[in-house]
Amino acid sequence: MSRAKPEDDEYWNSSKYRAFTFEDDDDEFSRLKESKRAVNSMLVDDDEDDVEDVERVSWSGEPVESISWSVKETASSIRSGSEQGFPRIDTTPSLSKQGSGYSLSSLFKAFSESSVRAYAPELRRPRSDGKDFVSDLSLDETIRRMQKGRGFSLEKFRSLQDKLLLLDKAVSAHDGNVITAVLIYLKRSLSKEILFRELMSREVALRHYIHFLKETGEQKLLMDLLKALGRTEDMALMQYKEHLNIKDEGRRKDFLKSCLSDVRLCVLSLPFSQDDAAHVQDHYTLLERQIIIEEYDKKAVTDVFKKFPRKASILNMPIITTLYYSCFYHYGELEGTFSSPSNIRKTFRISEKQYILTALGARAKLRSWSDVDSLFNTKNWLGYTKKRSPIAFHRVVDILQKNSAPVQVLQDYVNLIDDPELKLSVALKYKCHDVIINTYRDLKDRQLLVSYRDKLEQDSPEYRKIQELLSNGQVRWKN
Amino acid sequence: MFISIYSPAPVVWHLQMAQTERRDAPGLPDFFQLKRLARDQLIFLLEELPGKKDLFIDADLMSPLDRIANVTILKQHEVDKLYKVELKPIVSGSDQLCFLIRPRIKTVKWISDLVNSDKTAGRFRRYKIIFTPQKFYAYVTTDEWNFYILPLDDDILSLELPEFFRDTFLEGDQRWMTTGGGALHLLQSVYGSFSKVYGIGRCAKMVYESWRELTEEGEQRTRQPEFAKVFLIDRDVDYVTPLCSQVVYEGLVDDIFRIKCGSVEFGPDVTSSDKSIKVMLTSQDQVFSEIRNEHFSNVFGFLSQKAKNLQTAYDKRRGMDIQQMKAFVADELKGLKQEHRLLSLHIGASESIMKKKTKQDFQELLKTEHSLLEGFETRESIAYIEEHINRQVSMIDSLRLLCLLSITENGLLSKDYRSLKAQYLQSYGMDHLLTFANLRQLGLLEEQQTGETLTVMESKVGKLVNDKTVGKLTDAFSSLAKKSNFRALSKRLALVPKYGEEYDLRVPRDMAYIFSGAYVPLSCKLIEQVLERDGWTGLEEVTRMLNGQEFAVTGL
């Protein structure tokens, strides 16, 4: 991880992106905070306040009695068992309600004649929908009527050829509703083998059909179709998707197992892609583990469970969350145990980097700094301990800091940052005085030390440390 | 001046205003007419079921409906009680039930179950189903409320159809094409015809066709057009833009608080009180209208200045005599108080945005996005994304970065794809197998196909069908081999400003400012280019890289 190489930083800071950063030390941001205080403290004396205006003014500026708001209200009143609806207003027919402006006769007057004519016929939807029903319509006319939502009949398209012409015509009209309506008719009147065969060469119609089956939940037919099309991967995924509908964990686990070795699916070679098969296998294994762990931990009474009671069950959590959980509650267990971090790490082939990140988070949360240290310690052949990490150390510092690690701990890790500039900026961000002072000392920069001292509290240990350094005649300052 | 019609994800339509080629010029047509038309039609439909009735409304229709009508209007038309459609058994004592729903199978199924259970119980009721914006599967006996377009602001119209994108681009279902055509036809009916239509994309073409058919059936019209031009673009022509983090105020508000149907709910941390407030974000809000399109860095300064001015205005009261005070209260105070309230909200929102963005290392995320757009230090971007996933930070952001990587690089190398996918599944859950399958289908997140894989696919599919029909499969193949060509497009259209150039965000010189000067939105650039040339001439190379399907039509 070398995202913060110096030249990188220089590029980002020197070019067009300098203009603004989302860091909270921004000057303008502090100005904004001041403004907030100012605005919120401005007092207005008379208090006939109309705060509600803001909430209930519609786009056009009219006050609105919100429908969504009323619905909520209605729903809650039902829950409380009250049968009270809206207060009934007068029952006179609404047409006579002058002034409301909604009567039908006035419906279209608001618009200039020309602007209305084209649209109005649709408003005055013919009442005769059923009456102008004609059974002997041409293909084109049938499709047109379907598009308009008028009466039509498909029964006269009897031969396979007619049906297919009808379908092709529907497709060329680009109206998904008409395509699906025709497909519903074909589904009813053709054998599924013939329908599948014809759909194979009709991509658009096929996609509509698949979508229709998905929406109506005709899983069985859908699987048959995908199978006939040779789309085994889709088939496997579609089957897998079903697990989302199973609430009970035990049954869900069994179902996942069946996805991996379904008799029907096995007829075809490898329904899932190789990778996906491994993922589904992991899913199954994970749930199996979680069920076992949950069974034990529900009743667990060890210290860590007492001190940090579980907020939720571990069932159905992702692998990494499970690992975190295990690093939190089952750290140090032997690899043979299902719940141990090392077992989970091995079973799910978790990378070293991912493992360390997760364990670091969990152990830091518990403020177990010695565990944190040992995550990074490696011994070389001479027996010296050295800290190594697959994650950049400034990132480690971030994580520790977010878990409120004490300065002493932070400092150790800040010191491990390779890049001196980055090290200094991280140290400044988290106020690691020793690191800062030592860096300035090594730079022999007296002025920086003096100005840093002036920011510190007098008589604090770091203040005194600087004083000592400055009065030390041995150092040869460069300024 | 542009009007954009959009539905929360799908085809984006831009309508350029009438009269002139000048982009800054004319006034906007009054979109209030659209709301009135929708309201009147709804009332007409409600009156068709005379007498007292209970109304059931689809949950996602309620906010749009709020913009059209209110409780008093519904009550005036004898709606007794209002319910949200929850697909559960109902408790209603009414003899008449009216359902106002989106055309969805599960809702219709719920209604039919309900009717059947009434029947079994020997209960007699009258029912009415109103589909909006249209009925489906060519049903005959139901009603349609043609509520196609909701004006969200003076210059934004929306279809408010969240499922449009999924149905159209993922499932390949064309049920909404006629809705698009109907919406345009409605606009034309009310505001006059358009002088020119441009478009690009398969759906844009279908929408245009459906609109044309409706127009041809209608009467000839002679009205002076209020709109000059229409631009139809498929969402999948430009996936890059919505994948980038916006850094203008309105974009950030949406990012953090989610703007729904033109309004947003600010929680207690913003309102500095213990309650949440729902606010309409439109050009009627004077404070918002001034900062909505500003880069976030300019917003603080602006708000601080506003706060000072406000204080000064309040301070004027000191030393006023009674008469002056009276005049002040009558003329100015209300306005000032309104401004005060808005200012306080937007300052609170800015502060909250800043806090959240600082916490989630937004700066580094932006840096990665910019590197991806520039195609520079890709390995490092991948390492960043990987760590983002490993740390289980925002699931959506991780996915967004993965998609951006895939599109800018024409797919991920096989080993990267497999490793990132595996880590993603470990961090966020195995169920996302399905997410990856969907994204792959959409072409948003793909593994680079080697030539060999394609040939194998071709011969495999080839065996399934006879030679005659192979032609019809071209579509399927082209989607397999479809490349985003982002890098080449970006070069050709100069979408990524040159490295190292100064970019003053306070004085934006082009559209790139909304992404801190890092990227000019592809779709906007296309519109600019087409309008400048009055057509696609000279853009042949670009359209070829965008998979063609472009058109330009005069006078509809």
- Contact residues on chain A for B33, CB-CB shorter than 8 A: 110-111
If phi > 0 it is left, if psi is from -120 to 50 it is alpha, else beta; for residue A475 that is beta
B315 assigned to some structural domain = yes
Angle A361-A362-A366 from CA coordinates, rounded to 5°: 115
Let me know if residue A155 belongs to a domain. yes
Same domain, A196 and A256: no
pLDDT higher than threshold 70 for residue A123: no
Residue A449 covered by a domain: yes
Would you say residue B98 has pLDDT above 60? yes
Tell me if ipTM is over 0.95.
no
Contact A102 B219 (CB under 8 A): no
Question: What pLDDT is recorded for position B452?
Answer: 55
Residues B395 and B354 reside in one and the same domain: no
Confidence of residue A214 (pLDDT cuts 50, 70, 90): very high
Q: What residues contact A69, with CB distance under 8 A and at least 6 apart?
A: none
CA distance A10 to A422: 12
User: CB–CB of B140 and A104 under 8 A?
Assistant: no
Instruction: Tell me, yes or no, whether B548 lies in a domain.
Output: no
Same domain (yes/no): A293, A216: no
Instruction: Say yes or no to pLDDT of A160 above 90.
Output: yes
Residues A333, A421 within the same domain: no
DSSP for B124-153, written as a single string: --EEEEEESS--STT-SSSEE-----EEEE
- Among B193, B212, B238, identify where a domain stops: B238
Q: Does residue A2 lie in a domain region? A: no
Residue A18 counted as domain residue: no
Do both A256 and A298 map to the same domain? yes
- Asked whether residue B283 is domain-assigned, the answer is yes
**Are residues B284 and A61, on separate chains, in Cβ contact within 8 Å?**
yes
Last residue of one domain, picked from the residues B430, B451, B472: B451
> Percent of chain B at pLDDT above 90?
47
- Which candidate from B140, B172, B364 shows the least CB-CB separation from A204? B172
pLDDT in the model for residue A66 = 64
Same domain, A381 and A448: no
For residue B56, the SS3 value is strand
Judgement on whether residues A255 and A301 belong to the same structural domain of the protein:
yes
Domain end marker among B397, B429, B451? B451
Residue B139 has a pLDDT of: 64
Residues A345 and A252 in one domain: yes
Residues B41 and B140 reside in one and the same domain? yes
Instruction: Examine the domain organization and report whether B349 and B377 are in the same domain.
Output: no
Q: Are residues A159 and A254 in the same domain?
A: no
Residues A278-317 have pLDDT tens digits of 999 999 999 999 999 999 998 888 889 999 999 889 999 9
Q: How many domains does chain B have?
A: 4
Residues B49-70 have a mean pLDDT of 90
- What is the reported pLDDT for A207? 96
Tell me, yes or no, whether B195 lies in a domain: yes
For A472, the domain range is 432-479
Taking residues A443-471, report their average pLDDT. Answer: 88
CB-count exposure of residue A301 (10 Å: 0-12, 13-18, 19+)? exposed
Report chain B residues whose CB lies below 8 A from the CB of A24. 354-355, 358
Q: Residue B446 belongs to a domain with what CATH number?
A: 1.25.40.850
Claim to verify: residue B167 and residue B24 sit in the same structural domain: yes
Of A166, A173, A178, A100, which Cα lies nearest the Cα of A138? A166
The answer on A402 and A331 residing in a single domain is no
Statement to judge: residues B158 and B137 lie in one domain: no
Same domain, B367 and B425: yes
pLDDT(B224) > 80:
no
Residues B47 and B118 in one domain: yes
Q: For residue B480, what pLDDT is reported?
A: 46
A129 found inside a domain: no
A224 within domain boundaries: yes
Which pLDDT score, from 0 to 100, does residue B241 have? Answer: 94
How many structural domains is chain A composed of?
Answer: 4
Instruction: Please give the residue range of the domain that contains residue B283.
Output: 249-359
User: In this structure, is residue A238 part of a structural domain?
Assistant: no
Range with the lowest mean pLDDT among A326-340, B165-179, B213-227, B522-536?
B213-227
Task: Confirm whether A380 is domain-assigned.
Answer: yes
Look at strands B227-233 and B196-200 and give their pairing: parallel
Judging contacts by C-beta atoms under 8 Å, the chain B residues touching residue A205 are none
| Helical segments of A312-459, H only | 319-329, 341-347, 352-365, 369-376, 393-402, 407-414, 420-429, 433-443, 446-455
Answer yes or no: is B135 within a domain. Answer: yes
Same domain for A439 and A426 = no
**B498 DSSP assignment:** P
Q: Are residues A298 and A383 both part of a single domain?
A: no
Considering the domain architecture, whether residues B355 and B367 belong to the same structural domain is answered as: no
B24 and B160 assigned to the same domain: yes
Residue A266 in this model has a pLDDT that exceeds 60 = no
- Do B339 and B254 belong to one domain? yes
Can you tell me the mean pLDDT for B92-104?
A: 91
Asked if residue B499 is part of any domain, the answer here is no
**Residue ranges of E strands in B271-427:** 277-280
Q: A348 or A40, which is more confident?
A: A348
Residue of B391, B463, B479 to mutate, testing the A interface (most A Cβ within 10 Å of its Cβ): B391
Query: pLDDT band for position A25 (50/70/90)?
Result: low
Angle in degrees, 0-180, between the axes of helices A232-241 and A219-229, rounded to the nearest 10: 160
pLDDT mean over A15-23: 48
In a domain, B457, yes or no: no
B68 lies in a domain? yes
What is the percentage of chain A residues whose pLDDT exceeds 70?
Answer: 72
Give the mutation candidate from A175, A323, A360 for the B interface (greatest B CB count, under 10 A). A175
Contacts 24+ apart (CB under 8 A), B86-91: B86/B59, B89/B114, B89/B117, B90/B56, B90/B114, B91/A78
Taking contacts as CB-CB distances below 8 angstroms, the residues of chain A near B41 are 123
Q: Domain of B266: which CATH number?
A: 3.90.830.10
Same domain, A408 and A418: yes
**Chain B residues with CB-CB distance to A20 below 8 A:** 247, 295-297, 505, 516
The answer for residues whose C-beta is within 8 angstroms of residue A256's C-beta and 6 or more apart is A240, A243, A280, A283, A284, A287
Residues B355 and B366 in one domain: no
B180 & B222 share domain: yes
Nearest chain B residue to A24, by CA? B358
